[in-house]
Structure 1
Amino acid sequence: MDLELSNKTALVLGGGGGLGSAIALSLAKEGVRIAVADISLDAAQKTVALITEAGFQAFALAWDLAHLDVIDPNIKAIEAEYGPVDILVNNTGGPPPTTSHSQDAGLWSEQFNSMVLSVIKITDRVLPSMRQRGWGRVITSTSSGVVSPIPNLGISNSLRLALVGWSKTLAREVGGDGITVNIVLPGRIATGRITFLDEAKAKREGRSVEEVSKESTAAIAVGRYGQPHEYGDVVAFLASAKAGYLTGSVIRIDGGLISSI
């Protein structure tokens, strides 16, 4: 299927590994020029190497989402390299595992800035040119915790849910301009983040990682963890012309893990 994305430009935040890297590669395979942004330039460059070795276009940007003052110069760098951003993939790192209570106010503020405010302000920066051209995609990757809160991820559950409300509201505001705005949320996708969470849970509960992983797998309808490329391919479809009538939605890429309707 031709997703009609050839020569579009995408900015993929958190593109240096895991889900972000998979999304960047899926989009690149559709002919999208990719700006791979990550707090680690080395990590971003590794994703760029995967993309360029496959014969597609990408370049790397060091981008710490906690610093709002780098948004404009970084977007200008993308515009100079590839032109205006057509597809924005908001993908941020996760906060440390915590309870939802008794956390320092500074930690809440720090995580809000990097996980929520940065996403809003980067989107604000690219929206005017999308509206001018009458076409754009804003896709924000969150967590299954926004649908079914995950134990010991209090900060993540809370802040990522704020992005769902923002995304739904924005979708109505810009839908008439040819811009779609959607949320994607992963279930148990086999990335370093999931390995970290499994290890943290095993340590917390005095169990083996294998036992924790087996328990998690048993709750998934398809009976396995998802592969990163499966997540990336769904995002590529949402970015496509084929998904022009799909906006304001929350798409679960979870293998049937989430039990709620």
Structure 2
Amino acid sequence: MDLHLTNRKALVAASSSGLGKAIAAQLVAEGADVMLVSRNESKLAEAREELAKLGGGRVEYTVADVKDKGDVEKLLQRTGELFGRIDILVCNSGGPPAGKFEELTDEDWEHAFHLNLLSYVRMIRGALPYMKELGGHIVNMTSTSIKQPIPGLVLSNTFRTGVAGLTKTLSQELAPYGILINTVAPGRIETDRIVQLDSKKAEQQGVPLEQIQERSQAEIPLGRYGTPEEFAKAVVFLLSGANTYLTGTTLVVDGGLVQAL
């Protein structure tokens, strides 16, 4: 299948590592030019060098904190200046801290709001002037918590669900411009974030990390954690020219974990 990604211009947030980097790598391999983004310049430089070896599209990077309004504005401006346009946007951010409701402060809530919801609003708003003339594809990264709340992750359960509502609303408002926008909800994909959450559980329960991982994987019908690469392939289809009619949907990539309809 031709994904029609050659020479497409993409901005992928939180892309110096993890799922964002995997998505960026898949886009580059398919011929897209990609702007990498994170707060860590050394990791961005390493990621750019690695992705450039794939032999596909052009790779650039910008150091930015997506929680900062000024940084987001500069990011969109620089991407437009270097690439001339933005065809693809991946809104992504690190996960908020784990914790139960009574353990969290106002500062925790405000941080998660800026990181996991308002940053998406600002990135989409900034990309629209580039997309409205020629159309485009947007994917908002969330979590399976939007379908089935995850115990101990009340911040994610709250703000990721807000992103799903934003996506559904914008799918209607942006459709006249040929802009397709979808939500992708990763399950237990083998990243540093999953190791962090599993380690916290192991510490709380006083058991080895391996025991928590074995239990966790046993809950997944496919019997294992997903890989960033196979997750990225699903996302890149939604971002590609092969997707011409899917918008306002939520794609759950979780190996069958979530039981909600």
**CA distance in 2: counterparts of 1:121 and 1:8, whole angstroms:** 22
- Letter of the 1:126 partner, please give it: A
Residue in 2 aligned with 1:111?
112
Structure 1 unaligned residues grouped into runs of 5+: none
Residue in 2 aligned with 1:45?
45
Cα deviation for residue 72 of structure 1 reads 2.0
**CA distance in 2: counterparts of 1:52 and 1:123, whole angstroms:** 26
Residue in 1 aligned with 2:72?
71
Question: Which SS does the other structure have where 1:185 is aligned?
Answer: strand
Cα deviation for residue 2 of structure 1 reads 1.0
Residue in 2 aligned with 1:216?
216
- Letter of the 1:184 partner, please give it: V
Instruction: Indicate the larger mover: 6-15 or 72-81.
Output: 72-81
Cα deviation for residue 102 of structure 1 reads 4.6
Cα deviation for residue 103 of structure 1 reads 2.0
**CA distance in 1: counterparts of 2:44 and 2:31, whole angstroms:** 19
**CA distance in 1: counterparts of 2:4 and 2:247, whole angstroms:** 18
* CA deviation string 1:154-182 (max 9, x = no partner): 11111111100001000011112111110
Matches within 5 A, 1:42-191: 42-56=42-56, 57-133=58-134, 135-191=135-191
Residue in 2 aligned with 1:233?
233
**CA distance in 1: counterparts of 2:108 and 2:258, whole angstroms:** 28
**CA distance in 2: counterparts of 1:147 and 1:173, whole angstroms:** 23
**CA distance in 2: counterparts of 1:67 and 1:243, whole angstroms:** 32
Residue in 2 aligned with 1:202?
202
**CA distance in 2: counterparts of 1:155 and 1:103, whole angstroms:** 9
Question: Which SS does the other structure have where 2:90 is aligned?
Answer: strand
**CA distance in 1: counterparts of 2:247 and 2:15, whole angstroms:** 23
Question: Which SS does the other structure have where 1:174 is aligned?
Answer: helix
Cα deviation for residue 205 of structure 1 reads 1.1
Matches within 5 A, 1:10-25: 10-25=10-25
Residue in 2 aligned with 1:27?
27
Cα deviation for residue 101 of structure 1 reads 3.3
Contact 2:65 2:72 in 1 (8 A): no
TM-score, length-scaled by structure 1: 0.97
Instruction: Indicate the larger mover: 96-105 or 3-12.
Output: 96-105
Contact 2:142 2:186 in 1 (8 A): yes
* CA deviation string 1:184-216 (max 9, x = no partner): 011110111101111111101111111111111
Structure 2 unaligned residues grouped into runs of 5+: none
Instruction: Indicate the larger mover: 29-38 or 62-71.
Output: 62-71
**CA distance in 1: counterparts of 2:169 and 2:101, whole angstroms:** 25
Cα deviation for residue 47 of structure 1 reads 1.8
**CA distance in 2: counterparts of 1:87 and 1:13, whole angstroms:** 11
Cα deviation for residue 15 of structure 1 reads 0.1
Matches within 5 A, 1:240-255: 240-255=240-255
Cα deviation for residue 257 of structure 1 reads 0.8
Cα deviation for residue 14 of structure 1 reads 0.3
| Residue identity (%) | 34
